[in-house]
Amino acid sequence: MASIVSDDAEIYYETLGSGPPVVLLHPFPANHNLWKPAAQFLLSRYKLILPDLRGHGASGIGQGPATMRKHAADLARVLDDAGAGKAVFVGNSIGGYVIFECLRQFRERTSALVLCNTKAPPDSAEARATRLALAAEVLEKGTEAFFVSQTLRLIGETTRAARPDLVAGALDMMRQMSPEDIAQVQRGMAERPDSMPTLKTIQVPALIITGSEDLMTGVPEAEAMKQHIAGSSLKVLPKAGHYSPWEQPEEVGRLLRQFLDSLN
């Protein structure tokens, strides 16, 4: 893996394949390895850039909440280091939140985008309070109970029943985050702005993917994004939850390859 220094944090990323650049942004609280299985379907034609977002995986958290502005600034420096002036951005969950901020900060570097199991509105007052409470709780009690509870919310019921190996793999990724990492990433997500107005400004090709078993950002959120992004398309994956690229890498990989090839 390569690394860059972005303000107060060291950010790690991996590159795979060669060709037009595609950035794959993972969900919370995983890391870039979540995209590896689906990435196999893209390697023969595309250069894949897989960062560990600030506070995830090998990347540092820095000081204070990991806001979307910080994540976007980190990503701009990763793109510079990887020699990618412009790229297709693919984001799962928090990865989607980061894409929205990138559109606000450096829209000209986005050639197309894929929004996977994510949503545009900010946290409600209740959701924000829950995030902040969880941030305080992991600092006091540790992360393990939090991670186990997250698998029940993030991984679809079908996957949990049929693929315990994928649940275990997700937990392995989560366990690379410290209590401080979890707390500051949660606080950063709680501060994220409303991206609904941003949707109507998107003028590049856009694909939206969600899972039929996604309890966090399911079909209604995906349909709302499709309604507001002109010319976008929507794919709903049956028997997939919030971590659909991890749960169904073959199907997600096929959809991404089809979408990317249509751009070229």
Residues 170-195 have pLDDT tens digits of: 999 999 999 999 999 999 999 999 99
pTM score, whole prediction = 0.97
Q: pLDDT tens digits for 101-128? A: 999 999 999 999 999 999 999 999 999 9
CATH of domain 2-263: 3.40.50.1820
Q: pLDDT tens digits for 135-159? A: 999 999 999 999 999 999 999 999 9
Compute how many other C-beta atoms are within 10 angstroms of the C-beta atom of residue 84.
Answer: 18
- What residues does each domain of the chain span? 2-263
Q: What is the mean pLDDT of residues 250-255?
A: 98
Q: Is 67 in a helix, a strand, or coil?
A: coil
Amino acid 223: pLDDT: 98
DSSP state of 192: P
Q: What is the mean pLDDT of residues 80-87?
A: 97
What is the dihedral sign for C-alpha 157, 158, 162, 167?
Answer: negative
How sure is the predictor about 264, in pLDDT bands with cuts at 50, 70 and 90? Answer: confident
